[in-house]
Structure 1
Amino acid sequence: MTETTDSESRRLAARLLAEHPVFDGHNDLPWALRESVGYDLDRADIASDQSAALHTDLARLRSGGVGAQFWSVYVRTDLTGDAAVSATLEQIDCVRALTERYSDRLVPAYSSADVARCRESGGVASLMGAEGGHSINCSMGALRALYELGVRYMTLTHNDNVAWADSATDEPVAGGLTRFGEAVVREMNRLGMLVDLSHTSAGTMRDALRVSRAPVIFSHSSARAICDHPRNVPDDVLRSLADNGGVAMATFVPKFVLPEAAEWDRATDAHLTGMGLHPLDGTERGRRARSEFERENPRPVATVSKVADHLDHMREVAGIDHIGLGGDFDGTPFTTAGLDDVSGYPNLLAELLDRSWSEAELAKLTWHNPLRALREAEAVSERLRRTESPSIATVDQLDGKRTT
């Protein structure tokens, strides 16, 4: 459990969260459950204290003031083709199992109206976001199927390129979005599925903003001007959110928050790769290898204050109506001090209060901005569904025959 101090700002933060809870953009609990217990919820009962193994359980969601959560239905990019699609379905099944097992606390949500109703009832509105376009295997039908199963955003890429979009952490091939990638964005607009630009290259970000007719989000990305990591958002893109209506949701992952942590993480990934491990390996062997490396190479520690620096900058550049929070809990082996798990949000709000953020600004940051973006995307979808048919475009038709 995150340790806190009983300051006046901390007490005010808790009061604010009771009124305007956190609508968080990204939590990887489903993948953590897959990796650690093979989806066996009896072995990782989040109704009990899971602080020894996970960043998330019901008690900490409550103490952190979380009122709505996009649960990531992420699958690793070394799963490709139909294997990626089926693994994504298993992730969706995990979220459904969680909402059925903990129905008094985790309430399925498929729309902005559902989220608002959950807010009134006191449950955590539980939405889903697919993390990476590999989850649809270049299929518009698969995209629509994910929407019908409840997925309400898709991150266009994860750490590797897809055939139709460049990732932030891969060598550029398309230069942004291909013609098929643009068609995917338009179909997502028609469906009412938010276009998530975290993990994408700057070129993909700019292309998607040019094409999208609905607000986009960055479900878990911070400011590149504060930490020069390709996973963060450049200032010109942040500025463009005002015209688009989108929301950039600051993340707490140390390597995206603190430049020194980014350098350390690159060295760690190289070490793990040299051992034949995936850099995101969440198994016991992967965790042990990281711990052993850290003992020999002390890890730089990011702080709540540094996250607040990102938010100060994002507020200045994008505007208060276009920022939010996306912790990425249970999707990172390391966390920011004071934001160690999902109970830590009051610490961040207390820091922002100490920096003279107003209550109205904090309410937009935690709740109103992501809810507004979702509501506006639904309104765009309602209009487009009256005039446009479902896309039957294929990547081969628009981009030429693939060689892989």
Structure 2
Amino acid sequence: MRGRFWIGLALAAASAPVAAQSVEARLDRFLATRPVIDGHNDLPWELREKYGASPERARLDGDTSRAAEPLQTDLPRLKRGGYAAQFWSVWIPAATTGPAAVETTIEQIDIVRRMVAAHPDRLTLATTAAEVETARRAGKIASLIGAEGGGQIDGNLSILRQYRALGVLYLTLTHTRNVGWADSGTDVPDTRGLTDFGRQVIAEMNRIGMIVDLSHTSPDTMRAAIAASKAPVMFSHSNAYAVNPHPRNVPDDVLALLKANGGVVMVNVYPVFVSAKVRAWQAEKAAAEARLTGSPAGLMLGAPKAEVEAKLAVWVAANPQPPVTAADVADHVEHIARIAGRDHVGLGGDYDGISGTGPEGMKGVDGWRLLFAELMRRGWSDADLARLAGGNILRVMRRVEAVAAR
């Protein structure tokens, strides 16, 4: 009996690395043949802020994680992650409004186009699902564009149309603030859905082949937009509210509506949206900052900024952020798949829009490998993983194009 015990222990120890190797080998085979299409990356704004809006200075063909101004994105990591396409977000701060919002958005579009022009052997612009497929066959990463915030059209449908002409494929209806015709999930409710103009925006997006993106919107606006849209919608970088009740995440009743609409939720890796423990920790950190500053808003009032930051660093050292792993991200994927179906979940990392770092081992754009490996261990087939990786968003793109063509 004792001999059998030790033999069993030895076999278990030997099988663990073999199992890890088999997952890694399967992962390499999978990524060699299945495209990864990520719905949201904020690299353009990081290039603007850290590199003077110069894609050339950023040296994206090297390891940007080790740069003096580190990034979460570079071409080698995109290749390792198996990317066929990336939606680059032409985000601007929600506080930028009016004509300045339009001007800043155009500047962001220009950064994307210059970034692609600087790497013609690795990147190419794309505006359709067919162009994504063509880019993949050519061994290039298709660069798609999404605008993150309805305020960027400055209440003008002609500006919306011109963004589409410049290659913008989706518009996120709000960012962190309401826009007058749609509510943000992180602002005080105002329209509680969509105004008449908001429904006009949806109708015009359907007509010109622009995807309606509902990340950042309130649940009421999500429901109203799904009801108004004749084409599938997307959530370019959102998670499941039932797993982590953060206002940026999607409630179950909306997930059920999404299934009928044909849309997709693209899961992100921002720790505060992934983990309820991190969300609680951030609230405690904000309270500690408020105590240090004497300001309920934590605005560094009443004390020198450097002094407050030093004291806050001491607090963080004593109260570190709870760990987040690929398993936590997989919990969101599986919940969305249970409620909406495996045809309605995708990937939208929010890389280079994440303050701090992403989940353990997922701190850059090649991090999806860990999520795929986790889901493989949970029994996901290659066919299901292929839909998650890019098949579902390609289907949404084709359907949006078909609605516009009608």
TM-score (norm 2): 0.88
| 8 Å contact kept, 1:198–1:231 | yes
Is 1:308 aligned to residue 330 of structure 2?
A: yes
Match of 1:258 in 2: 275
Which of residues 114, 122, 132 in structure 2 aligns to 1:115? 132
What letter corresponds to residue 58 of structure 2 in structure 1?
A
Is 1:23 aligned to residue 37 of structure 2?
A: yes
| 8 Å contact kept, 2:362–2:370 | yes
| 8 Å contact kept, 1:10–1:349 | no
Distance 1:373 1:225 in 2: 24
What letter corresponds to residue 350 of structure 1 in structure 2?
A
Give the superposition deviation at 1:14: 2.1
Is 1:180 aligned to residue 194 of structure 2?
A: no
Cα-Cα RMSD: 2.1
| 8 Å contact kept, 1:220–1:249 | yes
SS in 1 for 2:143: strand
- Ranges of 4+ aligned residues in structure 1 off by more than 3 Å: 266-273, 286-297
Describe the shift of the 1:44–1:346 C-alpha distance in structure 2 as closer, same or farther (beyond 3 A).
same
Distance 1:305 1:206 in 2: 29
| 8 Å contact kept, 1:114–1:125 | yes
Describe the shift of the 1:235–1:137 C-alpha distance in structure 2 as closer, same or farther (beyond 3 A).
same
Describe the shift of the 1:288–1:244 C-alpha distance in structure 2 as closer, same or farther (beyond 3 A).
farther
SS in 1 for 2:366: coil
Which of residues 74, 77, 92 in structure 1 aligns to 2:91? 74
Largest Rg, 1 or 2: 2
Match of 1:362 in 2: 385
| 8 Å contact kept, 1:109–1:126 | yes
Match of 1:400 in 2: none
Aligned pairs for 1:227-376 (under 5 A) are: 227-268=244-285, 271=289, 274-275=298-299, 294-333=316-355, 334-376=357-399
Distance 1:268 1:129 in 2: 32
Is 1:146 aligned to residue 163 of structure 2?
A: yes
Match of 2:65 in 1: 51
Aligned pairs for 1:88-103 (under 5 A) are: 88-103=105-120
| 8 Å contact kept, 1:77–1:159 | yes
SS in 1 for 2:171: strand
Measured against aligned partners, the alpha-carbon deviations of 1:273-304 in whole angstroms (never above 9, x if no partner) come to 52369xxxxxx9x9999867633541122110
Distance 1:288 1:243 in 2: 51
| 8 Å contact kept, 2:54–2:111 | no
Structure 1's unaligned 5+ residue stretches are 278-283, 384-404
Describe the shift of the 1:169–1:289 C-alpha distance in structure 2 as closer, same or farther (beyond 3 A).
farther
Describe the shift of the 1:289–1:192 C-alpha distance in structure 2 as closer, same or farther (beyond 3 A).
farther
| 8 Å contact kept, 1:10–1:347 | no
Give the superposition deviation at 1:42: 3.7
Describe the shift of the 1:58–1:297 C-alpha distance in structure 2 as closer, same or farther (beyond 3 A).
same
SS in 2 for 1:157: coil
Distance 1:207 1:289 in 2: 45
Give the superposition deviation at 1:23: 0.6
Distance 2:190 2:376 in 1: 44
Distance 1:226 1:95 in 2: 34
Describe the shift of the 1:371–1:236 C-alpha distance in structure 2 as closer, same or farther (beyond 3 A).
same
| 8 Å contact kept, 1:168–1:199 | yes
SS in 1 for 2:365: coil
